[in-house]
Homo-oligomer: A and B are copies of this chain.
Amino acid sequence: MDLNYTDEQKAFRDDVRAFLEAKLPKRLSDKVAGGKRLTKADYEEWHAILNEKGWLGVTWPKEHGGTGWDAVERHIFEEETTAAHAPRIVPFGLNMLGPVLMKFGSDAQKAHYLPRILNGDDWWCQGYSEPGAGSDLASVKTTAVRDGDHYIVNGQKTWTTLGQHANMIFCLVRTSKEGKRQEGISFLLIDMDIPGVEVRPIVLLDGEAEVNEVWFNDVKVPVENLVGEENKGWTYAKYLLTHERTNIAGVGFANAGLAALKRIAGLENDGDRKLIDNPFFAAKIAQVEIDLMAMATTNLRTIAAAAAGQAPGAESSMLKVKGTLIRQEINALTRQAAGPYAMPFVSEALDEGSNEGPVGPDYAMPATQAYFNNRKLSIYGGSNEVQRQIVSKMILEL
């Protein structure tokens, strides 16, 4: 038992810190720390900086231009970039599609798509969820009917995060209605510039439009865009989901959120004292901090097991549930800390260089936004109810 990083890991951490110090633009980290909107160009700028260093393919092996890092190194990188308020790496091409192509894609697909993901030629989005399906991913209704050298795709995807920026989408489509629901699903890559693809934004309750509906109306997709075999897409989809669950605990985000919460509580007046000296509020902060200290170790235990070659199982479901509860509690306390200034909503103030400044302290509106926006954490990627069901079945054997 040793809770400390090895000397090699510490050296690696120092490298990451030095890189962030030198290369992360202050303009970007200020936007992230201040809860401002990131533009497509912001993400692309940061991706390019990472790619130049060879650190964009965090989960990729070296042969494909990735880092080749193990789970602990990935964790350290995640921890440091989050603490430094770097933009997140947009995961759809890098963490989701990339691993699927490496394992199941054709040589031509690998050669064509993987470099384009790294160099920013393609912006991928995810076409998994459909209206009315929720966490029941296998109920795919979007159809792809073979017609000569093409598939004709019809249907609708939803909750497509950052789809407004994307030029490519990977989709689960139904190619057969025979057998079990899982058996007729295929995994298709679709160019969003093909006629018949339409993207419509969904405004969420925080007023932002980061997710979209994507409609397919007789969209002609070349057969070479099929990944792996027809009707085997469910296998690839599940493989992708296990990769999606990297950093599922969100410890880095929680740490950053907790630090911001303490800073805000130290600034807010509460009668004759600061809010952080209010024993009730201090107790709530302490409680979530104690939970997070334990959670960080629960996470490290899973990461150490992964680094030792154990496949992450239902443990990731436990990390998801507790991790999202902790982050949402931090969001709720931060909103609470904002006091009456949680109420004003000035959308323009979230844009860089806007003439409209915030109303009240600059942390207040983003606190409310983050609270409402992060209700999604316990819903998407398999709702916490689905995760509890997995824990109950796989670990408790109920």
Contact = CB atoms under 8 A, between A and B. Distances in A.
Interface of A: 279-280, 283
A383 to B, nearest CB: 18
A280 B279 CA distance: 7
A287 to B, nearest CB: 10
Kindly report how many copies of this chain are found in the complex they form together.
2
Contacts of A283: 279-280, 283
Contacts of A279: 279-280, 283
A283 B279 CA distance: 10
A283 B287 CA distance: 15
A283 B284 CA distance: 12
A277 to B, nearest CB: 11
A283 B283 CA distance: 11
A111 to B, nearest CB: 54
A108 to B, nearest CB: 52
A274 to B, nearest CB: 16
5 contacts: A279-B279, A279-B280, A279-B283, A280-B283, A283-B283
A280 B282 CA distance: 10
A283 B280 CA distance: 8
A36 to B, nearest CB: 36
Nearest to A280: B283
A279 B279 CA distance: 7
A37 B211 CA distance: 64
A53 B280 CA distance: 50
Contacts of A280: 279, 283
A260 to B, nearest CB: 24
Closest 5 CB pairs of A and B: A279-B279, A280-B283, A279-B280, A283-B283, A279-B283
A279 B277 CA distance: 12
A280 B280 CA distance: 7
A179 to B, nearest CB: 33
A372 to B, nearest CB: 26
A290 to B, nearest CB: 14
A280 B283 CA distance: 8
A279 to B, nearest CB: 4
